[in-house]
Amino acid sequence: MARINLEGVRRASHAGSWYSAGSEVLNSELDSYLAAAPVTHPRTKMIIGPHAGYEYSGPTAAWSYKNIDVSQYSTVFLLGPSHHSYIKGCSLPCSGIYSTPIGEIPIHMHIVGDLMQNTKFTMLKKRDEEKEHSLEMHLPYLRKIFGNKQFQLVPIMVGDINVQTAKEYGRILAGYFRNPENLFVISSDFCHWGDNFDFKPYDRSKGQIFEFIEFLDRSGMGFIEKNDLEGFAKYLDSTGNTICGCNPIMIAMSTIAESGLEVETTFVRYAQSNPVRNQREFSVSYAASVTYLK
């Protein structure tokens, strides 16, 4: 295994704005979210969870995290989209430790080193690593559920890909997915609807606007549950649904297919930031899924 020397700490740059910066308050909030979520699929191997401010998406994310049996895992692969910087393909961390208000998470130097041997991966710049929230919003949840158990992180920021490159990344990650000690976490919000996002489709036959948004989201969620990568890509092309983590999701779907593991994916929770009823409003959708071993 290759080893790469990553230096420095990625600070919790969104603490105090997107979620609480105080350890006691943050712990209490996460406790409350997790307490309200049920355990439905204890053999969970992969999750999809949202990455908005905890006030909005924290309760939904808990429905995925509650199903993770941390005793099984020592490494977490965390895939999220790049919102602020153009990245071709996938990028890996430049820092050796990712910080949260409730504890630090070390980067898995050997795995990152191995992946960096592949030309399909580049290294993040420090400013891009700290500006992005899609990975950071999952870090407190991970540190919380693992508690005193130590684990290492492989954060992967996903940029511009297509179906073909998603399959290529899936082949690279499939071996890691087969490893029983590796957990996969995929970061994505779902539909961003309204003038703020330049996305306002509406079919009155589906009911109110918020009901149409849910119909649109659940149509895409159906392809994910069937692990139909090509179908999901066509759905994105035909609807334009603003699922910001669609590229990490496509890599995850390919990884599942290439791994040969017998797993099943199901969405366990769905919510919207606002039940939109008129054209002046806006909303972001949040969904939580679990991929579990049969």
97-151 pLDDT, tens digit per residue, is 999 999 999 999 999 999 999 999 999 999 999 999 999 999 999 999 999 999 9
Model confidence at 46, pLDDT cuts 50, 70, 90, reads very high
Rounded Cα distance between 82 and 159, Å, is: 6
The per-residue pLDDT for 279 is 96
The per-residue pLDDT for 5 is 79
pLDDT at 19 over 90: yes
pLDDT at 159 over 70: yes
Q: Which domain holds residue 105?
A: 9-293
Residue 3 maps to a domain = no
Mean pLDDT of the chain: 97
CATH of residue 131: 3.40.830.10
User: Which pair of structure tokens corresponds to residue 191?
Assistant: 């539909």
Residue 4 maps to a domain = no
222-248 pLDDT, tens digit per residue, is 999 999 999 999 999 999 999 999 999
Residue 1 maps to a domain = no
Residue 39 maps to a domain = yes
Specify the number of domains making up the chain.
1
The per-residue pLDDT for 1 is 66
pLDDT at 254 over 70: yes
Q: What is the mean pLDDT of residues 257-285?
A: 98
pLDDT at 2 over 80: no
Residue 228 maps to a domain = yes
Nearest alpha carbon to residue 73 among 293, 242, 235: 293
Residue 204 maps to a domain = yes
Residue 88 maps to a domain = yes
Q: What is the DSSP letter of 5?
A: -
Residue 2 maps to a domain = no
Of 4-13, 97-106, 114-123, 180-189, give the lowest mean pLDDT range: 4-13
279-289 pLDDT, tens digit per residue, is 999 999 999 99
User: Which pair of structure tokens corresponds to residue 19?
Assistant: 């979620």
Count of beta carbons in the 10 Å neighbourhood of residue 71:
8
Q: Is the overall model pTM greater than 0.75, yes or no?
A: yes
The DSSP code sequence of 83-136 is: SSS--BSEEE-S-SEEEETTEEEEB-HHHHHHHHTSTTEEEPPHHHHHH--TTG
What are the respective helix, strand and coil percentages of the chain, to the nearest 5?
Answer: 40, 25, 35
The per-residue pLDDT for 7 is 83
